[in-house]
A = this chain, B = another copy of it.
């Protein structure tokens, strides 16, 4: 696993399945079974994705009977925002282009 937090967070976000899990968690906490359902991979594979997300700080976990609930944590996202902030003069270069990009994603949310 990556030693620094940024590497761990970017590494965790580099996988589409893990990003989809995070997107699902914006709609509320979920069990491993619920998070596994949409994917064509085994449940242990999802458990390992959850472990990667947890080690990156992107989720926290709790128990409810035999189930384990995953909860989205925002702090690593703030760390990414802070990193991007150092490059703002680049990506802010054209607000129009950014606005256009955001608009085009409205009907086509991130995976």
A101 within 8 A of B: yes
Q: Report yes or no: B90 in contact with A80, Cβ–Cβ below 8 A.
A: no
**Of the candidates B77, B90, B93, B101, which one forms a contact with A84 in the assembled complex, judged by CB atoms under 8 Å apart?**
B77
Q: Which residues of B contact A85 (CB under 8 A)?
A: 102, 105
Q: Report yes or no: A16 in contact with B7, Cβ–Cβ below 8 A.
A: yes
| Chain copies in complex | 2
A78 and B13 CA atoms in complex are apart in Å by 16
A107 within 8 A of B: no
Q: Report yes or no: B77 in contact with A90, Cβ–Cβ below 8 A.
A: yes
Q: Report yes or no: A2 in contact with B14, Cβ–Cβ below 8 A.
A: yes
The 17 sampled A-B contact pairs (Cβ below 8 Å) are A2-B14, A4-B16, A11-B11, A26-B86, A74-B91, A77-B84, A77-B90, A78-B97, A78-B98, A80-B80, A81-B84, A81-B98, A82-B102, A82-B110, A85-B105, A86-B105, A86-B110
Q: Chain A: residues with CB nearer than 8 A to chain B?
A: 2, 4, 6-7, 10-11, 13-16, 19, 22-23, 26, 72, 74, 77-87, 90-91, 93, 97-98, 101-102, 105, 109-111
